[in-house]
Amino acid sequence: MAESGGRQDSVTVSRRDFVRSVRLSGTVEAVQSTTVSAPRLSGPNTMSLVITRLIRPGSAVKRGDLIVEFDRQQQITNALDRRAEFQELEQQIRKREAQERAAAAKDESEIKVAESSVSRAELEMLKNPMIAKISAEKNTLAREQAQATLAQLKTTYELKRKAAEADIQILRIRRDRAENAMRMAEANAERMAILSPIGGMAVLKSIWKSNSMAEVQEGEEIRAGMPIVDIVDPNAMRVRTRVNQGDINELRVGQPVRVGLDAYPDLHFPGAVAQISPLGVMSNQSNKLRAFVVLINIEGSHANLMPDLSASLDVVLAQTPAALVVPLDAVRQDGERAFVSVQQGSGFSDRPVTLGAKNAHEVVIASGLEAGTVVARNVSRGTR
């Protein structure tokens, strides 16, 4: 405890546990969390979505509970229209296939008749040596005509089958497109209700509306993909912070941390360094500096321990139990030697000491002093 000593402030040296730490700041987040966003609809759909049901902020939810539901009437209407179109095309395909089967049977019958005509004409040709020349010529012409008719029917038959298959294939393509559109519309209707993938607590997101940020509410129109609710597990929280490249070498996984909340100064939690990023990112202060992301696990839980709160972190780098500790301004450096001003009677005199660990405000005296000694402070500005 500091006391007045002549014209200088003084402090009595005592033994106590010395802690060397580094002060950091970060943001509280949940170890396990998920963000529920407005669904991205399949197909050419640019309509906004209207919220019809929304969970209350701060509500406890279980896996499978309804989080948000959107107006699905338009999607249901689209699904019904696409289903009707699909069924109509199915009927058209069946009808066209039946017509093609009937046409193919008729064409095959005509080919059989033409083949019979060719056979009869060839039999008549056998009489040519025994009949008049003009009759023989007529038989030859009849056979050629029958053969030409048969060849034409066979060629036409193949062309008709290809044309019919092409017509049916076009109907099938239209049918498949209608089926895909129907299934997309049905899937879009199912996406209108979003269930919680995990258990936890619901935290509503804020969106920009009317030139200010405000929480999402029922009845509002939002765009696809917009975040709506965060589901966080309040039983496991952590702090995400960025550490300057000058301090990162002193941090180790497992080091104890004292976590404080800026919004609730009376709340403090024990924690530990859980993860240190192996790669640095560009610092916000300069593109020549690098910062490393560090995750601090928080032990325990509290109703006020919520995501997005700013937190102060005191990372314990080293501890020296029962050490002689003096303020840093009580030590004067002269090259590699260190001195403190010890009270003797009504004045002060320098005494050499050996220094141990130090932090931003205090230093450990390894040797040269005893507990109970009174030393001067602000020695760099005071007079001996």
The verdict on residue 303 lying in a domain is yes
The share of the chain scoring above pLDDT 70, in percent, equals 95
DSSP state of 249: G
Residue listed under structure tokens 């006020």 = 304
- In this predicted structure, what is the pLDDT of residue 319? 81
Over residues 116-143, mean pLDDT: 86
pLDDT band at 3 (very low <50, low <70, confident <90, very high): very low
The verdict on residue 106 lying in a domain is yes
- Lowest-pLDDT range of 3-7, 27-31, 56-60, 336-340: 3-7
- In this predicted structure, what is the pLDDT of residue 384? 39
Report the distance separating Cα 315 and Cα 239, nearest Å: 12
**94 and 197 fall within a common domain:** no
pLDDT exceeds cutoff 90 at 303 = no
- In this predicted structure, what is the pLDDT of residue 137? 87
Residue ranges making up the domain that contains 157: 75-189
pLDDT band at 383 (very low <50, low <70, confident <90, very high): very low
Q: Which residue has the higher pLDDT, 213 or 87?
A: 87
Report whether 207 contacts 213 (CB < 8 A): yes
**79 and 176 fall within a common domain:** yes
- In this predicted structure, what is the pLDDT of residue 6? 43
**199 and 253 fall within a common domain:** no
Q: Domain boundary at 178, 209, 232, which?
A: 232
Q: Domain boundary at 131, 163, 189, which?
A: 189
pLDDT exceeds cutoff 90 at 48 = no
pTM here? 0.55
- In this predicted structure, what is the pLDDT of residue 4? 38
**246 and 367 fall within a common domain:** yes
**159 and 219 fall within a common domain:** no
**261 and 370 fall within a common domain:** yes
**64 and 205 fall within a common domain:** yes
Q: 73-125 and 133-190 are packed helices; what angle lies between their axes, rounded to 10 degrees?
A: 170
Q: How many domains does the chain have?
A: 3
End-to-end CA distance of the chain: 21
- In this predicted structure, what is the pLDDT of residue 377? 87
- Lowest-pLDDT range of 16-20, 176-180, 236-240: 16-20
Q: Which residue has the higher pLDDT, 330 or 283?
A: 330
- Lowest-pLDDT range of 46-55, 85-94, 291-300, 367-376: 46-55
The verdict on residue 174 lying in a domain is yes
Exposure b/e, 367-378, CB count within 10 A at least 16 = b: ebbeeebebbbe
Strands 60-61 and 200-204: antiparallel
